[in-house]
Structure 1
Amino acid sequence: MRFLDSLALFLLALSVDASRISRTGYVVHEKRDIIPTAWTRTRRLESEAVLPMRFGLQQQNIHRLEEILMDVSHPESPNYGKHWTPAQLAETFSARRESIEAVKTWLEGEGISADRMRLSPSRGWIDFNATVDEIESILQAEYHVFKHEDTGKEHVACDSYSVPHHVKEHIDLIIPTLHFDAKINAVAPKRMAKRDSVPVEGAARNVGKPGVGLNPTTTGKVSKILGQLENCDSQITPDCLRALYEVVYKQVATEKNSYGIVEYTTQAFLGSDLGEFSLLLSKHSNETNTLPSLVGKRPKFVATVNQSFNFNGESDLDLEYGMALAAPLKVTLYQAGDIPEGASFNNLLDALDASYCTFEGGDDPTQDGIYPDPLPGGFTGPESCGIVKPANIISTSYASDEADLTPFYAIRQCNEYGKLGIMGTTILYSSGDHGVAGNSGVCLNPNGTQSIGGTRFNPLFPAVCPFVTAVGATQVNPNSTVFEPESASEQVIFSGGGFSNVFKRPSYQDAAVEGFLTNHPPPFTSTQFNTSGSRGFPDISANGVNYVVAVDGEFSLVFGTSCSSPVLGAILTLINDARLAIGKSPIGFINPTIYSEFFKGALNDITSGGNQGTPGFTAASGWDPVTGLGTPNFPKLLARWLLLP
């Protein structure tokens, strides 16, 4: 008996030791060191609560993304302009069978049976429901309930989670974990969890709400429209922009071309405002009826509940100037999100790429709009997956603070922009309106929190993604003309710029950024910005000051990089027209091209002004983190792009 008791104790000890050895093989996959501003930890989440878990699988060949993108985008590449098909992308980047099996085997060993798991059709995600007790054991995590100081809403997150060392290389990210706003539902583990009955406030999907993210600024109504080129220092119109950037071109391939402008609900344009702006152009321009395609129409599924600059200013601005400069091409409006649920950048990517809905980060209930939406007034149709072919140029005048998102979330989304570039789409994002500060003018504190008094620069996403083109803002200087050099915008707004805290510097930017740091060393250290070889932004700029915009039946004076992005998009659309007319491909991802030696001198270098909303950088010769490489010189850009294959 004593022998059997001793044997039992020995076997129990082996079991305990084996468990300890297994757990020591875990490594931290993601970790958060601080609780986001305005949130307070209140209690541990109940162990019987059920979480809808999603395991994002590592994509094969993702380490080759920049290499492949450069191969079709660099002007010296023999494959320049030979853009890929969606099928080629899927075959190259889908998750490896080894990754799928490694994650499934691990989860089965942790008690998640195969019948509880679902592999997404694109083989990018493994989904299952699990109790908090189960998932805390699997991920060595602790889930807590957090309460928002202002709204009183409760949300769920953990501070870190771990995975086995041999599994880490097969996983991109796991949700819900560090992201807030996870949905909790008391349902059986084998069933899919349902959404909560109330909307939640996720940082990523609030980009279109008034006061959230990047918004244009107005100084009020315009009592008299001047309409002459000599007044462009106080009022910008489409004619001012044509003169500034020497845009003289008649389109000949509109049936082959496309230009898309993105808006996020609750932002919505008024058809009557487009009509008012069209009449303005007819009165003060040689061109007439430049806005025929959307006048009197409304985008589908968008209800303009409120009429004010905060709700209509962004959309009116983007469409009025994008359409005026791209006319007679019909501009495509990508309106993302319904009123109660909202949308994130991922929801747009869902609509452009069917595989993204299930493969690369779409439908994240912690950050993205989830459809169908059962809330009152919600969109009741399914998630829009791959419903449109991406336009040749896509402009977005919205942004989040990079610090609001975890690196894994931002990197996974950034990679999708790279894939769109490989397929030939140019992605433009505004760089921000607060200089080196983030949205609302907040900077980072040493512990990672954000505040007005922060001392570390706060870059914007997606502008910092190396696979998009970030667009800064310039101005016609007071008492100057459109025939004199512009400066960085310093009226009302300051061109957003700086260096990423997440993304490393892309190879196409090495020489330009090193030139700036060497020849114009900024008076800052690593305490203020990331000096370890990170992505610099913006890449290029366009005017963003004193725009005359029709909003709610009147004309307002508007400022922001929200002006700059759609204007640049329209100019690049004209270049695409010229290339398509002679049988060439659209320009696609433009950064490797505009940074190349071949394009040196094709942009108007901006050498005065700075993004000094808070102490920031100063414009200088060559690239700088205020205006990038400069503003477009249309004839020079057109000539160079027509010479490329």
Structure 2
Amino acid sequence: MARSTHVMHRRDSPPGGFVRVGPAPDEHVLKLHLALAQSNITGMQEKLLAASTPGNAQYGKYLSSEEISSFVAPSSDAVSAVAQWLSSHNLTSSVVSVSGDLHELTLTVKQANEILSANYSTFTDQKTGIQTIRTLQYSIPVELQGHLTTVYPTVQFPAKQRAPSSTFSISRARLPSAQKRNIPQSCDLTFTPDCAIDLYGIPKAIPAQMESRLAVAGLQNQNANYADLKMFLDKYRPDIPDSSNFTEDLVSGGYNNQTGPGRELDLEGNLDIQYTVGLVSPTVPVVFVDVGDVDNIDLFMQLPILANALLNQTNPPQVLSISYGLPESFVDAATATSICNSLSQLSARGITVLAGSGDDGVAGYEDPSECHKFNPYLPAGCPYVTAVGGTMSVNPEVAWDTSGGGFSDYFAMPSWQVDAVSAFVKTLPAGYDTGRFNTSNRGYPDLSARATFAQIALNGTFESVNGTSLSTPVMGSILALLNAELIQAGKAALGFLNPFIYANQDAFTDITAGSNPSCNSDGFSAIKGWDAVTGFGSPNYSKLRAAAGLS
């Protein structure tokens, strides 16, 4: 007798740029992730809010891994129901998360079509030529409703991470109202660690503090090259010890290839590592957390694997810099929520999670000349992540004109940003949001840092690149140094940063000029206070230090 089924998720068509080629081969092997319902994720997130809100009696009191598991572990009923369902098809899954809420299942396309009432097909991304296997709809037995929140990859589509751009096109319009700083003008078109030090007041002389550690995410087969790092430090930080370097944490088959895989697979990792080691050494150790891409898994599968690898550590790094993202529209709401919940567990552990806001303005992955609806980014739009936008220039620093920013389509506006974001929304032209974005949802970025003309060493030569892949590690470095000072003073590390940011907006240099036009619109403009292109602006180390109680 056939089971009654419930359609979990469906999409009418693939995302823009993808075309269906035909049915997927029956014997092609898939690796599916099953996200089981978490018992009390809301309760954990309430504890997180208390621990991260300045002035709260619980401020700084983050949760242990065991405490987090008590909130997010699935019920025994959920575990049993999923096991019975798979057993009826002669299949078994393995647990791949600390709390048991994420399972992995290996099976063929034919088996996946059967158990999910799906129609897996081959799709081609016309922008890259890369083929992927997905279905536009899937179902689960009705008895699994409430026990299983999402299965992927199903209706979620991969977005190839764009490498930081080495070409440059910026409108040099007059920007009269921006706040000026006395920074060497050479930093406008040639940005180096010394420029970051001057621009943000980053100290060079903090004693080594090994308890403060900074993690850099290495995803989608990106590598960080040791020889290129040495070349970079020799030129731009000859004042730090020759031994300055990074360590590796290889996760789920991760492999940091040093044998010259090529520019595209070294660019992201090199930029991230060079602008962390180059700013925090020798004070703070840097670890490159490389998540394997052995089965060509997608970013939305790598992020929970990354989160669980750090959750499983007894003493994880206090800051995680993620320079990767994909449009929310490429995944369904349940999968986006599952990813966000994984990252919220890191925040509850006391880890500051940073993510770049994207490099395509409000267009996301869409053609900026053809789109109308704005396309928010994930994980930047997750409320439990600190989203880092991009700036450009010096004297004054202004919004980078392709920095991502806007409003999530999936996540509600959190309490800590209601006042600031509502004030910004009131400045928008009447009807500007209609059909474009939802002003009642989470606004991002939260803050910004320099995103242009970063000098990096790449495959034995120097290049100039742009992207929030610069902004994010620079901000991560600043926070890691602040944590080093806090730990030396016997205080807790900053942890989940967003409530602190919105309570201490004066610790940032307000960016009041520039915008990110695309999607046949003006995008968003930088204005006084919070805005959806630069957040509260760029960091001021001495003011952040005082806000953290170090003055």
TM-score category by the smaller chain? 0.7 to 0.9
CA contact (8 A) 1:462 1:468 kept: yes
- Deviation string 1:566-613 (CA, Å, 9 cap, x unpaired) is 1111111111011101211110010011112xx131111111001124
CA distance in 2, matches of 1:327, 1:530: 42
Give the drift of 1:548. 2.1
Distance verdict in 2 for CA 1:29–1:640, change over 3 Å: same
CA contact (8 A) 1:40 1:149 kept: no
3-state DSSP of counterpart to 2:78: helix
Aligned equivalent of 1:442? 367
Aligned equivalent of 1:267? 222
CA distance in 2, matches of 1:54, 1:66: 23
Give matches, 1:311-390, under 5 Å: 311-328=265-282, 329-337=284-292, 341=296, 344=299, 346-347=301-302, 349-350=304-305, 353=308, 386=312, 389-390=315-316
Give matches, 1:472-483, under 5 Å: 472-477=389-394, 480=395
2:7 to 28, 52, 57: 28
Given residue 532 of structure 2, which amino acid in structure 1 is its aligned partner? P
Aligned equivalent of 1:404? 330
Structure 1 vs Structure 2 CA RMSD? 3.5
Instruction: Return the TM-score normalized by structure 2.
Output: 0.85
1:518 to 408, 423, 426: 426
Aligned equivalent of 1:624? 531
Aligned equivalent of 2:515? 610
Asked whether 1:145 is paired with 2:117, we answer no
Q: Which runs of 5+ in 1 are unaligned?
A: 1-14, 181-202, 205-211, 221-227, 357-385, 444-451
CA distance in 2, matches of 1:561, 1:512: 23
Tell me which structure has the larger Cα radius of gyration: 1
Distance verdict in 2 for CA 1:154–1:72, change over 3 Å: closer
Instruction: Return the TM-score normalized by structure 1.
Output: 0.73
Asked whether 1:161 is paired with 2:139, we answer yes
CA contact (8 A) 1:45 1:143 kept: no
Aligned equivalent of 1:453? 370
Asked whether 1:489 is paired with 2:400, we answer yes
Given residue 436 of structure 1, which amino acid in structure 2 is its aligned partner? V
Give matches, 1:194-213, under 5 Å: 203=158, 212-213=160-161
- Deviation string 1:508-544 (CA, Å, 9 cap, x unpaired) is 111111110013447622212223x111111100111
3-state DSSP of counterpart to 2:434: coil
Asked whether 1:85 is paired with 2:40, we answer no
Give the drift of 1:414. 0.8
CA distance in 2, matches of 1:116, 1:154: 24
CA distance in 2, matches of 1:416, 1:296: 24
CA contact (8 A) 2:94 2:105 kept: no
Give matches, 1:228-267, under 5 Å: 229-248=184-203, 250-252=205-207, 254-267=209-222
Distance verdict in 2 for CA 1:131–1:600, change over 3 Å: closer
- Deviation string 1:216-268 (CA, Å, 9 cap, x unpaired) is 11149xxxxxxx92422222222222221122363235121101112235432
CA contact (8 A) 1:399 1:461 kept: yes
Aligned equivalent of 2:406? 498
CA distance in 1, matches of 2:114, 2:419: 48
Give the drift of 1:316. 2.2
3-state DSSP of counterpart to 1:218: coil
- Deviation string 1:332-358 (CA, Å, 9 cap, x unpaired) is 1112225774663643643553598xx
How much identity, in percent, do the aligned residues show?
31
CA distance in 2, matches of 1:149, 1:636: 46
Distance verdict in 2 for CA 1:522–1:162, change over 3 Å: farther
Given residue 325 of structure 1, which amino acid in structure 2 is its aligned partner? L
Give the drift of 1:99. 2.7
- Deviation string 1:278-319 (CA, Å, 9 cap, x unpaired) is 22235xxxx613563338999983324546543333222222
Aligned equivalent of 1:112? 88
2:460 to 540, 550, 553: 553
- Number of corresponding residues: 526
Give the drift of 1:428. 0.7
CA contact (8 A) 1:246 1:634 kept: yes
Given residue 218 of structure 1, which amino acid in structure 2 is its aligned partner? S
Q: Does 319-328 or 334-343 show the bigger shift?
A: 334-343
Asked whether 1:217 is paired with 2:165, we answer yes
CA contact (8 A) 2:224 2:256 kept: no
CA contact (8 A) 1:522 1:617 kept: no
CA distance in 2, matches of 1:350, 1:126: 11
Given residue 145 of structure 2, which amino acid in structure 1 is its aligned partner? K
CA distance in 2, matches of 1:353, 1:149: 30
Given residue 245 of structure 2, which amino acid in structure 1 is its aligned partner? L
Distance verdict in 2 for CA 1:312–1:163, change over 3 Å: same
CA distance in 1, matches of 2:385, 2:130: 37
CA distance in 1, matches of 2:340, 2:130: 32
CA contact (8 A) 1:55 1:125 kept: yes
